[in-house]
Amino acid sequence: MISDPNAGSLAPTIDVDRAGQPVPVRGNVPLLLRFTLMAIFIFPASMVIEPIGASGTVPILLCLLLLLFWLASWMWGLHDPVPVRHPGRLAISLLLLASFASYAALYAGWTGGSTDVTRAAADRWLLLLAASTALVLVVAESIRSMADALQVVRALLTGAFFCCLVGVVQFTFRVNPVEWIQAAMPGFAYNGGDTPFQIRGALMRVAGTTFHSIEFGVVASMLIPLSIWRALNDPSGRRWFHWAQTALLVFAVATTVSRSGIFALVVALVVFLPFLPRVIRRRVLLASPFVVAALFLFVPGFVGTIGAALGADSSDPSIATRVNNYPRVALMLDTRPFLGAGPGNYSPPDALKILDNQYLGAIVTLGLVGLVATIVYFVLPAIAAILAARAAADPVLKGLAGAVAAGTLVAAACSMTFDSLSFPVFALLYPALVGLAGGVWRLVRARATGSGDHRTPESRHHAVPVATGRPTTDTTRTRPDGEGA
């Protein structure tokens, strides 16, 4: 992959067809996987198949179907997943082992409180982990080239674009299009749990197709770096439309009026910007004040409301509740220190007792063993993506790895501000990013060892710049800043 020296921006690899004409490389990501990634955002998680319960959502069922196909293809010798190693697989494996240990302790009665209700909660947690495992494994193994990675990114951003459009309608017209989707889902029952509207200061917070405005702001921030990378590098579609999608994600963060969303956006940009070419990095930094000014103009009251939220102290109810959680968690840890009360088995008696911190929730439900596994699950893929970004010589691949690192680090950081894995869109988006991180990790290692991009021989042709169309086999002359050699 090389840069367009005339445009000064990154350009993805273009193949040459048999007639010698430049054409974009087409990926080979399975259609079911792409549809599943879009479904995470499109189908409301409040709608379930009633006999299955809370795990009977469309995205989770699709993920479980992916896992079934993955296992069947392995058993029938259609693919061998053993050599496909990446840090994300280790991270999800550790969380699975910790959850299985806590699950066994719950069923054996070692942790107390083994009832039909607690066992059902543990079953739901394991089904979520099974769905997450499917995404981590299948996404990583499906990415054999940059074209495959781009297909995965497109699918995620298409779903997120739909979610943001719903958020814009909610914010502008105070109507909830999710209700229209729910009405068009025969055979599914409303299971509750979603909060599409919530007042904060002078503004109405919205949630799009997610469960809550906090979740909406965090998942939008997780995808903003990938959206920027896609706008810079996707040869298909209209460039202006790609940037409009990015702007919509930023606007979505604003409509949530969420401290977690703003914090997530800051973390995302701080991590991602160093891996952009120097010219693009300067443009993003110069555009930032204009983005804030646009939000001030188009969202009256935004700056004052978010400023008051960011300036809140311990007297603020939401902050006070979070602070008061620590002594309560310490008491519960003393009772069941190693394996916790069982997977998914924390039921707050009232809203003031909700643990708005995924790590505290892991201590209570999975114990210290589960806390370590949860930290590894959130931190290891981010570290791996950062290392991949630092090691990548190709600026396009470096930018992709940096974008994935930013998204996964946002998840790790914001899991301290809300119980992230209790929110269905976040809980499935994150393992999709872990799988994407694994795929990027493998691409970087393949290029470092000279083993290529794993595409079929028929699809390997000379790489050419998008603008010039001149074939070249020298991909080593691209400077990290995106300018020609």
Q: How far apart are CA 352 and CA 264, in angstroms?
A: 24
Q: How far apart are CA 41 and CA 209, in angstroms?
A: 6
Query: Has residue 438 been placed in a domain?
Result: yes
Domain that holds residue 226: 31-79+88-452
Q: How far apart are CA 258 and CA 305, in angstroms?
A: 10
> Which band of pLDDT confidence, cut at 50, 70 and 90, is reported for residue 347?
confident
Condensed to tens digits (0 to 9), the pLDDT of residues 43-53 reads: 999 999 999 99
Tell me the average pLDDT across 368-379. 98
Query: Has residue 16 been placed in a domain?
Result: no
In sequence order, what DSSP letters do the residues of 427-445 get, joined into one string? HHHHHHHHHHHHHHHHHHH
- Choose between 327 and 456: higher pLDDT: 327
Q: What tokens does 468 get?
A: 């010039």
End-to-end CA distance of the chain: 13
Classify each residue of 432-461 as buried b or exposed e, where b means 16 or more C-beta atoms within 10 Å of its C-beta: bbbbbbbbbbbbbeebeeeeebebeeeeeb
Residue percentage of the chain with pLDDT more than 90? 68
The pLDDT of residue 22 is 52
pTM of the model: 0.88
Please report where in the chains the tokens 């930013």 appear, as a residue: 406
The pLDDT of residue 114 is 84
Query: Has residue 480 been placed in a domain?
Result: no
Condensed to tens digits (0 to 9), the pLDDT of residues 276-327 reads: 999 999 988 888 888 877 877 777 666 666 666 566 666 666 777 778 888 9
**Cα angle 14, 222, 241; round to 5:** 50
Condensed to tens digits (0 to 9), the pLDDT of residues 5-40 reads: 333 333 344 454 555 555 566 789 999 999 999 999
Query: Has residue 140 been placed in a domain?
Result: yes
Condensed to tens digits (0 to 9), the pLDDT of residues 126-173 reads: 999 999 999 999 999 999 999 999 999 999 999 999 999 999 999 999
- Choose between 3 and 294: higher pLDDT: 294
Give the burial class of 483: count Cβ atoms within 10 A of its Cβ; 0-12 exposed, 13-18 middle, 19 or more buried: middle
Tell me the average pLDDT across 180-191. 96
Q: How far apart are CA 320 and CA 336, in angstroms?
A: 25
Residue percentage of the chain with pLDDT more than 70? 84
- Length of the chain equals 485
User: Is a pLDDT exceeding 70 seen at residue 472?
Assistant: no
Condensed to tens digits (0 to 9), the pLDDT of residues 205-237 reads: 999 999 999 999 999 999 999 999 999 999 988
Q: How far apart are CA 132 and CA 435, in angstroms?
A: 9
The pLDDT of residue 305 is 63
Q: How many domains is the chain partitioned into structurally?
A: 1
Query: Has residue 62 been placed in a domain?
Result: yes
* CA-wise closest residue to 368 among 343, 325, 339, 332: 339
Q: What tokens does 100 get?
A: 């299985």
Query: Has residue 42 been placed in a domain?
Result: yes
Query: Has residue 45 been placed in a domain?
Result: yes
Condensed to tens digits (0 to 9), the pLDDT of residues 398-446 reads: 999 999 999 999 999 999 999 999 999 999 999 999 999 999 999 999 9
The pLDDT of residue 24 is 64
Query: Has residue 158 been placed in a domain?
Result: yes
Which residue spans within 193-303 are E strands per DSSP?
Answer: 197-200, 203-206
Q: How far apart are CA 408 and CA 181, in angstroms?
A: 29
Contacts of 50 (CB under 8 A, 6+ apart): 56, 188, 189
Tell me the average pLDDT across 327-339. 92
The pLDDT of residue 20 is 52
